[in-house]
Amino acid sequence: MTTLQLHRFLCRQDNYGVLVHDPASGRTASIDAPELSAIEAALKATGWRLNEIWCTHHHHDHTAAIPALKAAYGCTVYGPKAEADRIAGLDILLGGGDQFDFSGHRVDTLDTPGHTLGHIVFTIAGQKLAFTGDTLFALGCGRVIEGTMRQMWTSLSRLMALPGATGIYCGHEYTAANARFALSVDPDNESLRQRAEKIMRQRSRGELTLPTTLDLELTTNPFLRVGDPAIRRHLSMASASDVEVFAELRRRKDCFGG
């Protein structure tokens, strides 16, 4: 089986675009469809032709280019069945446990409600890849907009069960701001401090901070470390439940000015 090729690029203000390409078949998928011009520029730069779009959730900054891309390339659009009434142009409706084939690579779908109620994540176990949309970010997680804190924590826990070597591709370049917040609640984490310094150097040079790995997030992302005694002491929540600690972290991040 061939190794998939991935091409990352920034679009809109801070969205990540990702193209997934199988060199044997020539098929290419776009993870979400944030911006027509940026995706077409990425296709031109790589020489790939778009065949599929894998949509994680209904927000406009992830779906805006679907109609134009379908019209231009005749591509097949996969997306969350729970949000089918909110995303124009879906062809294949998916929910947790569903899978489909991408040029011989099995793509699995996980339900990850919280940011939106129907949010899904795409994983390719054979390539150690996860496309997490706005559920899990590098050093952060998505805002809980439509779901509950418990739903979001359950979704993150589902992602935490993936193999540690899984490469995480998320929907936004929020890593520097997330690093500043992480340091505010986990200040004695040496791995986090070193990672934050690297991130600031990367961003100062205009470099992308993705992909990350699940192992790295488990070591440095406070939203995946709600059981850590140091974080709990910092929050004065030593005996709180995991959901309560997660909810407090998310509330603090929502108000964080750093």
The answer to whether residue 59 is catalytic is yes
Q: Write down the catalytic residue from 22, 32, 134, 186.
A: 134
Q: Coil, helix or strand for 16?
A: strand
The answer to whether residue 62 is catalytic is yes
- DSSP structural state of residue 188: T
Q: Write down the catalytic residue from 61, 98, 108, 228.
A: 61
Cβ–Cβ < 8 Å for 94, 81? yes
Q: Write down the catalytic residue from 22, 32, 58, 62.
A: 62
Burial label for 46, CB within 10 Å (0-12, 13-18, 19+), is middle
The answer to whether residue 254 is catalytic is no
Q: Write down the catalytic residue from 58, 105, 119, 172.
A: 172
Cβ–Cβ < 8 Å for 108, 142? no
- Residue spans of alpha helices (H) in the chain: 36-46, 60-63, 66-73, 149-160, 175-185, 190-204, 214-220, 229-235, 242-255
Q: Write down the catalytic residue from 22, 32, 58, 59.
A: 59
Q: Write down the catalytic residue from 21, 58, 105, 115.
A: 115
Q: Write down the catalytic residue from 57, 58, 105, 119.
A: 57
Burial label for 178, CB within 10 Å (0-12, 13-18, 19+), is buried
Question: Which residues belong to the active site?
Answer: 57, 59, 61-62, 115, 134, 172
